Structure 1
Amino acid sequence: MIAVALAVFAAASNALASVLQRRAAREVPEQKAFRLALILDLIRRPVWLLGIVALISGFAFQAAALSMGALALVQPTLVVELPFTMLLIAWMFGIKLDTRSWLAVAMMTVGLVTFLLSAAPGPGQHAPDSARWLTTTFITVGTVIGLVMVARLMPGVGRAVALGIAAGIGFAFTATFMKESTTIFDTDAAVLFRSWELYAMVFTGLCSLFLLQNALQSGPLVAAQPALTISDPVSSILYGTLLFGEYVRTGGWVVLEAAGIGLIIYGSFLLSQSPPIRAQARAARGQAQEGA
C-alpha cells in the first residue's frame, strides 16, 4: 500500500532527524532548557540544521501518506521510527547490536503488522465539526501542559520521557491538521491558504518541535525516543476515530489489536534497554560533562 510505504519513508526521515538533533542538543547547557535560548543555540549548529532538513522531509512524506490513507493507518506505521533510530545510532557510532536488540526490532515489526492487519483502519466517515475540534484541543492542550509541569519537576531520564510523551501527543495533534489540510488541498488548493487548519498545523508543529528539542536536551535518546514513538500512534488512533470517524475493527479483533500494541510497547522497552546503545549513551554523557 502506497500510504504505508510513504509512512515508512517518513519514519526513516524522522529517525535521522532525531539522531542528528540529539547529537546537537546534548551539547547545549541545561540552563537553556524551556527557553528560546535553546533554539537560538541549536540554530547555529550545522548538525541540528541537517536534522531539521530531515524532519521537513519526514513531514512531506507524512503529508503525502495522510492524503492517501487514514490517520489510524499512517500514524501507527511511524513506530518503525524507533528501530530506524537505534540502527542509525549503531551505524553512526560503530555499535554492534546484540541479539536482544534484534529480537526487539523483530517484535516491534510483528506487533505493527498484527495491529494493522487486525484493525484494518479505514477512511473517515465525516469531517470534524467545531465542537469536536474545540473539545479535542482543550483535552490535548491540558494534557500537554500537565506533562510539561511534571517534566519541570523531574531530572534527567524522567524529564526526557515526560517531554517525549508530550511531543508525541503534539505531533499526533499536528497530524490531524495535516490530514484536514491535505483534504482541503485536494478539493481546492487556493482555499488552503485561507483555511485556519494550515496555520494551526504550523503552530502545533513548531510547539511540538520545541518540546522535542527539550526532550532530546534533557536526557538520552534511548529514553526520549520510545516515549515519542509510542505516544504518537496511540494518540493518533484516538484522534482518527473521534475527530474523523475513521473505521477500526472491534469485537474479537480487539484482542489481536491489543496484542499487537503490546508487542510494540514491549519491543520498544527492550530496544531502549539495549546494553550496547545504553553504554554509548553513558559514554556520550561522560564526554559532555568533561567538556562542560
Structure 2
Amino acid sequence: MIAAILAVLTAACNALSSVLQRQAARTAPQSRVFKLALIGYLIRQPSWLGGMAALIGGFLLQAAALNFGALALVQPILVTELPFTMILVSLILHVHLDRSSWLAIGILTVGLALFLVSADPGQDGTRSPTMDVWVITLVVTVGAAAALIAVAKTRTGPHRGALLGITSALGFAFTAALIKENTETFAAESLGVLTSWSLYAMIAAGLFSVFVLQSALSSASLVVVQPTLNIADPAISIAYGVALFGEDIRLGWWVVPELIGVALIFYGSVRLSRSPLVG
C-alpha cells in the first residue's frame, strides 16, 4: 500500500514536470534538437527549471516507492501521470475538462485497476541480478536506444516525437531498474551505495532520458509524446522487473484480463492526449 501511494505521488510530480517542461520546450528552435544547445536554451526558462525541480521530487518519491515495492508494481501505476497532466493543465490554464476528457480518465483508470488486479505484481523480486546480467541488459538497452534515435533522426514532427518518446521511456525504465538496485544496496550498506557502479549508471541513464525527452517535446506535442511514454515505460519496466529481479506476474488465463487492461490504458491515454488542453 505504501509503495502504491508513493507511486501515485511520483506520477503527480512527473505530471507537473511534463507540463512545465512542455511549456518551455515548445518555444525551443528545432535547430537545437539533439544538441546540448537545447539544454542551454531551456535552462534559461523559469518554467523548465520548475519542471526540473518537480522531476527531482518525483525521482525521490519513486526511489522511496521502489524501496517498499516491486518494479512491476510501481511503474504501471505511473500511467496515472497522464490524468494528472490533464488536471494540472486545466488548473494552470484555468480551463475546465470536458466530459470526453473525464471519460478518458475513467477508462484509463479502470484499465490500470484491471491490469494490477489481474497481474498481482505486489511481490518483490526473488533474486538480485549479477554483474553479467547487468552487462547484457546494458548492451541490449543501449543498442535499442541507439537504433530508435537513429531512426528518429530520419523522421520529422510527430513520428520523431513518438520514437523519441519511446526512447525516453526505455531510458526511464532502465533508470528505475537501477534505482531498485541502489535501494537494495543502500538497505544493505548505506555508504556502500556511494561506491557502487549502479549509482553513477543511474545518474547517467536519468540524464540521458531527460535529454531525449526534451528533444521529444521539442519535436512534437504532448498529444504524441505522452501516450508513447505512458505505455512504453511500465511495459518495459515490467520486463526489467521479471528479467533482472525475478519479479512475478500472474500468467495463464490471467493474461486475458491483463491484455484488456493494457488495451484500456492505451485507448484511454490516446483519447485523453487528443484533448486540446495538452497540445
TM-score range relative to shorter protein: over 0.9
Offset of residue 92 of structure 1:
1.8
List per-residue Cα deviations over 1:53-107 (Å, max 9, x = no partner).
0000000000000000000000000000011112222222233322221111001
> 1:289 matched to which residue of 2?
none
> 2:108 matched to which residue of 1?
108
> 2:99 matched to which residue of 1?
99
Give, in whole Å, the separation in 2 of the partners of 1:184 and 1:229. 28
List per-residue Cα deviations over 1:128-158 (Å, max 9, x = no partner).
1122212211211111111111211111111
Unaligned runs of 5+ in 1: 282-292
Structure 2: which amino acid aligns with 1:99?
A: R
Q: Name the SS for the 1:95 alignment partner.
A: coil
> 1:157 matched to which residue of 2?
158
Give, in whole Å, the separation in 2 of the partners of 1:210 and 1:171. 11
> 1:57 matched to which residue of 2?
57
- Segments of 4+ moved more than 6 angstroms: none
Give, in whole Å, the separation in 1 of the partners of 2:86 and 2:159. 20
> 2:186 matched to which residue of 1?
185
Give, in whole Å, the separation in 1 of the partners of 2:185 and 2:15. 29
Offset of residue 16 of structure 1:
0.3
Structure 2: which amino acid aligns with 1:51?
A: G
> 2:66 matched to which residue of 1?
66
Give, in whole Å, the separation in 1 of the partners of 2:159 and 2:277. 18
Structure 1: which amino acid aligns with 2:56?
A: I
Within-5 A mapping of 1:11-160: 11-121=11-121, 122-160=123-161
The alignment yields a C-alpha RMSD, in angstroms, of: 1.1
Unaligned runs of 5+ in 2: none
Q: Name the SS for the 2:252 alignment partner.
A: coil
Give, in whole Å, the separation in 1 of the partners of 2:255 and 2:27. 44
> 1:228 matched to which residue of 2?
229
> 1:284 matched to which residue of 2?
none
Across the two proteins, how many residue pairs are aligned to each other? Answer: 278
Offset of residue 226 of structure 1:
1.1
> 1:3 matched to which residue of 2?
3
Scaled by the length of structure 1, what TM-score is found?
Answer: 0.93
Structure 1: which amino acid aligns with 2:161?
A: A
